[in-house]
Structure 1
Amino acid sequence: MTSWAGRTAAEISAAVREKRVTPREVAAEHLARIERLDGRVGAFRAVRAEAALAEADEVAARGDFDRLPLAGVPVAVKDNLAVRGESTRVGSAATPDTPADRDHVTVARLRAAGAVVVGLTNVPELCVFGTTDGVLGTARNPWDPTRSAGGSSGGSAAAVAAGMVPIALGNDGMGSLRIPAANCGLVTIKPGHGVVPTGAGDSDWFGMSENGPLATTVEDARLMLSVLAGDEPALRSEAAP
Structure 2
Amino acid sequence: MQDHLVEEFTAVSIAARVRSGALSPVDVVADALRRIEQRNPRINAFVRVLGERARAEAQALASHPDLSSLPLAGVPVAIKDNVEVEGEPMRDGSAATDPGPSTHDHPTVARLRAAGAIPVGLTAVPELCVWGAVDSPGVITRNPWNPDRVPGGSSGGSAAAVADGMVPIALAADGMGSIRIPSAACGVFGIKPGRGLVPAELGAHSWFGMSENGPIATTVEDAALMLSVLADDPSLAEIPESRPLRVGVAVNPASPILRVDADWARGVEQTRLVLAEAGHRTSETRVPYPPNMSAAFLRWFAGTADDAADLDPALLQPRTWWHAAIGRAVNRAGLVRSSQVDRLDARMRSFFIAYDVVLTPSLAQPPIEALPWSEKSWAANLVANVRYAPFSAMWNVLGWPAASVPVGMHPTSGTPIAVQIVAPPGGESTVLAVAAELERRQAWPRHAPV
Q: Deviations along 1:71-125, whole A, 9 cap, x unmatched? A: 0000000000000110000000111111001100000000000000001000001
Contact 2:224-2:237 within 8 A present in 1 as well: no
Q: Secondary structure at the match of 2:32?
A: helix
Query: Which residue, 30, 37, 40 being the options, matches 2:39?
Result: 37
Secondary structure in 2 aligned to 1:148? coil
Of the structure 1 ranges 107-116 and 194-203, higher mean CA displacement relative to structure 2 is found in: 194-203
CA RMSD of aligned residues (A): 1.9
Q: Secondary structure at the match of 1:174?
A: coil
SS at match of 1:140: coil
Question: C-alpha distance in 1, partners of 2:119/2:64?
Answer: 16
Question: CA–CA distance in 1 between the matches of 2:155 and 2:65?
Answer: 33
Distance 1:78 1:89, change over 3 A: same
Q: Distance in 1 between matches of 2:232 and 2:138?
A: 32
- Give distance in 2, aligned partners of 1:136 and 1:157: 21
What's the counterpart of residue 158 of structure 1?
160
Q: CA deviation at 1:137?
A: 4.0
**TM-score w.r.t. length of structure 2:** 0.51
Corresponding residue for 2:126? 124
Which one of the candidate residues 73, 76, 79 is aligned to 2:75?
Answer: 73
Partner residue of 1:140?
142
Q: How many residues align?
A: 238
Query: Which residue identity lines up with residue 219 of structure 1 in the other structure?
Result: E
TM-score (norm 1): 0.94
Secondary structure of 2:213's counterpart equals strand
Q: Deviations over 1:15-41 (max 9, x none)?
A: 101111100100001101100110111
Does the CA contact (< 8 Å) of 2:76 and 2:119 recur in 1? yes
Tell me the distance in 2 between the aligned counterparts of 1:122 and 1:44: 5
2:196 alignment partner, one of 161, 184, 194: 194
**Structure 1 residues 191, 46: closer, same or farther in 2, change over 3 A?**
same
**One-letter code aligned to 2:175:** G
1:190/1:136 CA distance change after superposition, 3 Å: farther
Work out the CA distance in 2 between the residues paired with 1:97 and 1:61: 33
Preserved contact between residue 134 and residue 156 of structure 2 (Cα < 8 Å): yes
1:1-241 paired onto structure 2 within 5 Å: 5=6, 7-135=9-137, 137-232=139-234
Q: Structure 1: how far apart are the matches of 2:139 and 2:56?
A: 26
Is the alpha carbon distance of 1:234 and 1:14 closer, same or farther for their aligned partners in structure 2, counting shifts above 3 Å? farther
Cα offset for 1:176? 0.4
1:84–1:103 contact (8 Å) kept in structure 2: yes
CA offset digits 1:127-147 (Å, max 9, x no partner): 110111223842211111111
Task: Choose between structure 1 and 2 for higher RCO, CA contacts under 8 A separated by at least 6 residues.
Answer: 1
Aligned counterparts of 2:222 and 2:90: Cα–Cα separation in 1: 26
Q: Which has the higher helix share?
A: 2
Distance change (3 Å), C-alpha of 1:136 and 1:16: farther
Secondary structure class of the residue paired with 2:148 = strand
SS at match of 2:234: coil
For 1:73 and 1:194, the matched residues in 2 are separated by: 25
Q: Distance in 2 between matches of 1:164 and 1:186?
A: 13
8 Å CA contact retained: 1:43, 1:159: yes
Instruction: Summarize deviations over 1:167-213 as a string: whole Å, max 9, x none.
Output: 00010011000000000001111100110011123341111000000
| Contact 2:126–2:134 under 8 Å retained in 1 | yes
Larger Rg: 2
Shift of the 83–136 alpha-carbon distance from structure 1 to 2, 3 Å rule, reads farther
What one-letter code is carried by the residue in structure 2 that aligns with 1:27?
Answer: V
Identity of aligned residues (%): 58
Structure 1 residue runs without a partner (length 5+):
none
Residues 228, 236 of structure 2: 8 Å contact kept? no
Give 5+ residue unaligned stretches, structure 2.
242-450
Cα distance in 2, alignment partners of residues 77 and 61 from structure 1: 24
